[in-house]
Amino acid sequence: MINYLIRRLLMLVPILIGITMVSFLILQLVPGDPALIILGVEAEAEDLEDLRHKLGLDKDIVTQYVIFFKNTVSGDLGESITTQNDVVAEIWPRFKNTVRLTVASTLLATIVGLLVGCIAAMKQNTATDYIAMVVVLIGISTPSFWSGLLLILLFSVHFEWFPPGGSMGFISLILPMVTLAAPGAAVIARMARSSMLEVFRQDYIRTARAKGQKESKVVFKHALRNALIPTVTVVGLQFGYLMGGAVLVETVFTWPGLGRLLVSAIFNRDYPVVQAGIMFFAVSFVFVNLIVDILYGYLDPRISYE
């Protein structure tokens, strides 16, 4: 397992380099002069030159990338054009809020998705199964921003149970967490149902039932663990998707996360913050997938990384 971890970590190096290249090229691919876009057409020539020098735009593209890469490796992602603060100091508190929301949503989506998927598989081709799949289809098809607005209208405006936005403790996390978790729970439920049905057809499940073991023991001891491998893959992917989808949810619920900061940075043409935010999202997704790969060995001892 140690050798596998070393190999996987080494494989991350070119991926992380690619992430820095994509983040760097965002500024280069902006149509027109970024300095002119940031300062406006009425800016003085001297101010434009100063900003180009500050952003490193007065150098050739290779030199710009080398400087950007060195600064990134050393943890220096520049300064925010809007606030003049260090980008890492600007992003880190927001990033922690986004991770908090995403982890809570992923846990909720996983618990609900596995529960619904297992029940639907155990009740295959019954009314329970059909109702569960209809609910799953609705969950996948409903846009997060629309369901978020409905939850605010119902539980914040009508019943006044939860605050409509902001970050005032766990109670403020509930509505955005449910909104963000709904599509992920639907995807996980479909995968869990499909995996469970496939496992139920295996010989060892029929043998366990023939021995007279309780159905709950057959499902949770024998079937579920083997059905979790493809489901864990989906959960890992959903974590990345939920983190990216948090941009809309954070905007709807005024949650002080990285997604909301990125939206503001895009409107303000604050390119260093945009670049750094994209890198934070991408690196998080990469390491979550590494964790998913490691979990495979614990779920299925037949998998050998050696």
> Stretch 236-254: mean pLDDT, rounded?
76
Structure confidence by residue, pLDDT tens digits, 122-174: 887 888 888 888 888 888 787 777 888 888 888 878 877 887 777 777 787 88
Q: Two tokens at 159? A: 């019943």
Give just the sign of the alpha carbon dihedral 24, 30, 32, 34.
negative
pLDDT band at 32 (very low <50, low <70, confident <90, very high): low
Give just the sign of the alpha carbon dihedral 8, 13, 17, 18.
negative
Q: Kindly state whether residues 150 and 6 are assigned to the same domain.
A: no
Q: Kindly state whether residues 168 and 281 are assigned to the same domain.
A: yes
Cβ atoms within 10 Å of 168's Cβ, excluding its own = 9
Cβ atoms within 10 Å of 175's Cβ, excluding its own = 25
Rounded to whole angstroms, how far apart are CA atoms 19 and 277? 11
pLDDT at residue 16 in the model: 81
Tally the domains of the chain: 2
Rounded to whole angstroms, how far apart are CA atoms 209 and 215? 7
Q: Kindly state whether residues 57 and 132 are assigned to the same domain.
A: no
Q: Two tokens at 232? A: 């864990």
Where is the domain boundary, 45, 73, 101?
73
Give the domain range for residue 59: 2-73
Of 50, 86, 92, 85, the closest CA to residue 71 belongs to 86
Q: Kindly state whether residues 43 and 107 are assigned to the same domain.
A: no
Stated pTM of the model: 0.74
pLDDT band at 282 (very low <50, low <70, confident <90, very high): confident
Domain harbouring 268, CATH code: 1.10.3720.10
Q: Kindly state whether residues 65 and 106 are assigned to the same domain.
A: no
State the average pLDDT for the chain: 77
Those residues whose C-beta lies under 8 Å from the C-beta of residue 120, and which sit 6 or more positions away, are: 128, 129, 132, 133, 189, 193
Q: Kindly state whether residues 150 and 23 are assigned to the same domain.
A: no
Q: Two tokens at 139? A: 């969950």
Structure confidence by residue, pLDDT tens digits, 54-96: 767 677 778 778 877 887 777 777 777 777 778 888 888 888 8
